[in-house]
Amino acid sequence: MKPLARTFALCICIVFVVSSTAKPLAQQARIPNLDNLKDYPDVGQKCPLRGNAPAGQEKAKSNALKNRYKLPPGGFTPMLLSDIFSLPLGPGGEAPLSGDPNNAKAVSVVGFVHAVEKGGSRGESCNCKATGGNQVDTHIELILDPNNPSSKGRKMVVVEVTERGRRLAISKFLQTNIGNNWTTSMLKSRLLGRWVRFSGWLFYDPDHHLETWQSDPDDSRGKANWRETGWEIHPVMAIEVNVTPPPDRIQ
């Protein structure tokens, strides 16, 4: 190939690479800084990513994971909801710490929405003890057998929408085909009783470690079990309805 031709080919490659990545990079750059939510939970107050936990503590690190709001640079990796059931616990069956590698994964799963509720209505550390109806996280329960939901949370996975996610959604930074209003009431009206694809960050919630069938199969420790695992998608960063039921669904 002649020098001029090689130079032209190289330019084409460079243009292709830049154009194929420019959109997500530009979108990420436009996302506002939500490290400290202003006027939250009350006017004149602000809530950092670590919530009200002291800086440096494991609780602060865990809260910061719940409050992530930046999109993953590599996108979301498809995952079966049933595979979340078997994500490992920590050494000796303890709750995985914030540094667990699975906490750094961004995934997409499809599940049947069994319940949509206000979460942490008594005030959670991650939300600086906010209790307002649309200040608290939205708690969504996913199952694979719509005809036989377990009353004790067997084979149920929790996904959660946060206040930061709502602010990004209303400003049209997040992908969705249900509209940009992600308040709990709107999510309930649009998602309940449907197969839905949720994308977001994997997170192990240590606050519920002894309330799961994975960590307490005999339901003999701590509070009564009400969920399959402490692994969640938290926070949710994309929502899609009108999707095909997943291959691991129970018919």
Backbone angles phi, psi at 62, to 5 degrees: -65, -45
Asked whether the predicted pLDDT for residue 215 surpasses 50, the reply is yes
Residues 36 and 133 reside in one and the same domain: yes
Q: Which residues pair with 176 in a beta bridge?
A: 239
Residues 9 and 103 reside in one and the same domain: no
Asked whether residue 250 is assigned to any structural domain, the reply reads no
Residues 111 and 1 reside in one and the same domain: no
Residues 67 and 103 reside in one and the same domain: yes
Residues 20 and 41 reside in one and the same domain: no
Domain region containing 164:
32-240
Residues 21 and 128 reside in one and the same domain: no
Asked whether residue 246 is assigned to any structural domain, the reply reads no
Residues 17 and 99 reside in one and the same domain: no
Residues of the chain with pLDDT > 90, as a percent, come to 84
Residue-wise pLDDT tens digits, 193-212: 999 999 999 999 999 999 99
The C-alpha R_g of the chain, in whole angstroms, comes to 20
Region for residue 67 given its phi and psi (left: phi exceeds 0; alpha: psi -120 to 50; beta: otherwise): alpha
- More reliable by pLDDT, 151 or 83: 83
Residues 142 and 78 reside in one and the same domain: yes
Asked whether residue 251 is assigned to any structural domain, the reply reads no
Residues 140 and 22 reside in one and the same domain: no
pLDDT for the residue numbered 36: 97
Specify the 3-state DSSP secondary structure of 228. Answer: coil
Nearest to 202 by CA among 159, 247, 140: 159
Asked whether residue 193 is assigned to any structural domain, the reply reads yes
How many structural domains does the chain have? Answer: 2
Amino acid at 149: P
Residues 8 and 63 reside in one and the same domain: no
Calculate the average pLDDT of the chain: 89
Residues 4 and 55 reside in one and the same domain: no
Residues 51 and 126 reside in one and the same domain: yes
CATH code (residue 101):
2.40.50.140
- Paired sense of beta strands 77-78 and 46-48, if any: unpaired
